[in-house]
Amino acid sequence: MAIVDVVVIPVGTEGPSVSKYIAEIQTKLKEYKQAGKIDYQLTPMNTLIEGELADLLEVVQAIHELPFDKGLDRVCTNIRIDDRRDKSRKMNDKLTSVEKYLNSNGDNNENI
């Protein structure tokens, strides 16, 4: 299971706000989640998506295309992939690992 950190940046919008584009992206992600392909989490600065790498790359392409479908001529998308193959980890597992470390005063040797 991999995790993708993705930021889709619509260029040439009518103003500085891109919230309506991000909302459309979240709607598309919800469809993929309901199909059982991914899980995702919106943050104030990006969206995190977890799933199998092939599915994630399909999803990234789909959400990258959405602003073009609304008539924009340019979209910049940044992605960062965390693909760990020695153990299966989910987004929340990573957070839990850090929280355990914080709560144990540095005595947790678990690798994130």
Report if residue 67 sits inside a domain.
yes
Going residue by residue through the chain, which has 112 residues, state the pLDDT in tens, using 9 for 90 and above: 999 999 999 999 999 999 999 999 999 999 999 999 999 999 999 999 999 999 999 999 999 999 999 999 999 999 999 999 898 888 888 888 889 989 986 555 555 5
Q: Structurally, how many domains does the chain consist of?
A: 1
pLDDT for res 50: 97
**Cα distance between residue 91 and residue 31, in whole Å:** 19
In a domain, 68, yes or no: yes
- CA–CA gap between residue 8 and residue 79 (Å, rounded): 9
CA distances from residue 16 to 25, 34, 85, 87 in whole angstroms, order as listed? 17, 31, 40, 41
Whether 63 is covered by a domain: the verdict is: yes
Determine the 3-state secondary structure of 11 from DSSP.
strand
How far is residue 23's CA from residue 83's CA, in Å, rounded to a whole number?
Answer: 26
CATH number of the domain enclosing 96: 3.30.70.930
Q: Would residue 82 count as lying in a domain?
A: yes
Q: What is the pLDDT of residue 44?
A: 96
Does 34 reside within a domain?
yes
Which residue range forms the structural domain that includes residue 23? Answer: 2-105
What pLDDT sits at residue 108? 55
What pLDDT sits at residue 94? 85
pLDDT at site 93: 87
Is residue 35 domain-resident?
yes
pLDDT (0 to 100) of residue 88: 83
For residue 16, being part of any structural domain is answered with yes
Assess if residue 28 is contained within a domain. yes
